[in-house]
Amino acid sequence: MPLEVHYTNHKAWNANTKSIDPTIRKEADEIGHFLMTIGISEISEKTIDEVVIRKLILDKFYPVSAESENKTPKEWREIFSRHMGLNIQGRWASNETRWKFTSRHAKSMMHDIVHKVLREEDKVNRAGLIDNSPEGRIID
């Protein structure tokens, strides 16, 4: 099931024309994918603080050097507030706890680091067992 971004509750939704401005829609689509990444299915008064918190957690995990991406919590809140009411549905739309979200990204980063280190010296199979043979066969 694909990710579905729903705009009907978006604060910029025009109920008369049943549409949303294309520039706002483009940013809303990007934020919809971001919501999928952070494990929150909607932006509302109830969830906006958590959206900002998780954005800042991701910035710590994956720092960016682009000045346009390094924003204060207040600036992120303003950006996400423009999309109040946006919600997503689909396989990837979930509501996971902050701990589950953080540990998922920590595990991914840990896996990337381990893979990078071991790739330089050895070949590793799906289970993480090292095979030093020239064929690089998988150990089951």
pLDDT per position as a tens digit, 77-122: 999 998 998 888 876 667 788 999 899 889 988 988 888 888 765 5
Same domain for 76 and 138, yes or no, is no
Q: Note the pLDDT tens digit of each residue in 15-66.
A: 777 778 888 888 888 998 899 889 898 999 999 999 999 999 999 888 887 7
Same domain for 106 and 62, yes or no, is no
Same domain for 61 and 14, yes or no, is yes
Same domain for 54 and 101, yes or no, is no
Same domain for 75 and 140, yes or no, is no
Task: Supply φ then ψ for residue 51, to 5 degrees.
Answer: -60, -45
Structural domain span for residue 139: 97-140
Using alpha carbons, list the distances in angstroms from residue 10 to 37, 38, 77, 80, 105. Answer: 19, 19, 16, 11, 28
Same domain for 20 and 30, yes or no, is yes
pTM of the model: 0.72
- What is the domain count for the chain? 2
